[in-house]
Structure 1
Amino acid sequence: MVAIAVLSLCAAVVGLQSWPRPALTGSGWQVAEVSGPLWALLVGTTIACAGTALVVSAGAAGLRAGDPLTWAWVVLVLVAAAPLVANGLYSAAMSATEPGPLIPVFHWLFTFVPALLAGWLFSRRGRLARSAAALGTGVVTVPLLALSWSLLDSSGLSLAEVGRTLWRTAFFGVAPLALAVVLAGGGRTARSDL
């Protein structure tokens, strides 16, 4: 939980800095001319969050280097990060224009689905391992969601904008993650819980 909070705050503050904005186009995936520094920000944040997630989740989730389940979890986390990187690029491109009202209908899925899948992936392990694996995905998804929200705002760094970014992140990221962690930790009791 502490890692999620600290990384999300850092992502919000860094994302509100002045970054070169990509162009919004009407074709393809709607983003063009992405600068090197913006790519470095998104990829670097993903790597830092994924490394932190692996470290903080290793003990409770029982992640071991030679365990195929560990590698499946790592792949799940990286696959979950990919749409958030794309969302960050799109948000940055949207900020260069005059965006209309934002309707974030599916943003809650960015944190909910990976956590639920991690719990399912660890279904043969105990409740603590399932919950830790699910929560560990949030160490990557929640900060990347915060970064996306901050890149959407082009007004610059201010306490009000950090607060707005963290509020959106809590509502659309932390709350769905918490629900998924509860669902992942529940259910069938594994032998290691007995």
Structure 2
Amino acid sequence: MTQEASPRLHLVTGNHVDRLPDDGQPDDGRAAAPVVAEGSVLADLLRRAEALDAQVAAASTPRLPRGSGVVLAGAALTVVLALLGRQAWQLPQRGPGGVADVTQSLVTFLLLCAALCVWSAGRLVRPAELLPSRGAAPLWWALVAGSALVSLAAALSLASYAGTGERPADLLLRCAVPLVPAVLAGVLAADAGRPARVRAALGTGLVTVPMVAVGWALLSSAAGSADLGDVLGMTLLSGVAPFGVAVAFVAADRRHRRAG
């Protein structure tokens, strides 16, 4: 045996130098086996912990409501606001220049209705999670807020016809109120896929369609012969129908047709 600079002892046999273990046991690889086994167990535990973390993260991630849920919420909101609009509100007058003598109570009611619609749209659509680009979500919010203001003005215009015996002559223009925002919302979500386009368009309908119902409800509140069914029928004609056309246009896969 010989001793090198290292404090360990080495056994010289022929042309080979074997290191003796510190405890005097033969170095046949048995001592390293428990270390390898412990390392594999630790790696397995780490893999299981990572898999568990992934499952918890997937379960805690909020899921976007389906399109049917958005439609049902819009229908419920439309009926509720139509019922509220049929109450005994002090309606504006129809002057030579348009709407006149709008009461503060009616304006407050319409603002609350519009705010509720905008909040519901944002809550159900969640544009920050739905739209891929950063600038698309603020544009969607601006589009929805603008649609709410236009719908509020349209509701006031309808209410001003109450008691005058005149019929609103701008029905086609009123049909554009729910149609245009839905198409623009689909354009904003053009790169996010078909489900995102449809959901973004449906979000605008949560604002425009219920506000259309409010306008017809205010108009019918002065006429004793009109009931809730008439209000919902006119809402279907001037609100739901053009909005449905816009959603169908947004949902169409035009890229696939061009590729074909």
CA distance in 2, matches of 1:46, 1:141: 9
CA distance in 2, matches of 1:95, 1:43: 20
**Structure 2 residue corresponding to 1:33, chosen from 97, 101, 104:** 101
Q: Which of 116, 120, 125 does residue 48 from structure 1 map onto?
A: 116
Structure with the greater alpha carbon radius of gyration: 2
Name which of 167, 170, 182 aligns with 2:233.
167
Aligned to 2:93: 23
- CA shift at 1:99, angstroms? 2.0
**What is the TM-score of this pair, normalised by structure 2?**
0.65
CA deviation profile, 1:130-177 (whole Å, cap 9, x unmatched)? 00000110000000000011111134688x611111111112211221
Is the contact made by 2:183 and 2:250 (CA closer than 8 Å) also made in structure 1? Answer: yes
Contact 2:163 2:223 in 1 (8 A): no
- Output the aligned Cα RMSD: 2.4
Gaps of 5+ in 2: 1-70
Q: Which residue in the other structure is 1:105 paired with?
A: 172
**2:159 is equivalent to residue 89 of structure 1:** no
Gaps of 5+ in 1: none
Letter of the 1:36 partner, please give it. Q
* Aligned-residue offset at 1:182: 1.7
Query: Does the C-alpha gap of structure 1 residues 35 and 148 become closer, same or farther in structure 2, counting only changes over 3 Å?
Result: same
SS in 2 for 1:124: helix
CA contact (8 A) 2:154 2:174 kept: no
Deviation of residue 32 (structure 1)?
1.8
Q: Secondary structure at the match of 1:24?
A: strand
3-state secondary structure, aligned to 1:73 = helix
Q: Percent identity?
A: 34
Higher relative contact order (CA 8 A, sep 6+): 1
Tell me whether 1:5 sits opposite 2:75 in the alignment.
yes
Instruction: Give the structure with the higher percent strand.
Output: 2
Matched, 1:183 2:249: yes
Specify the alignment match of 1:68 in structure 2: 135
Q: Which secondary structure state, in structure 1, belongs to the residue aligned with residue 96 of structure 2? A: coil
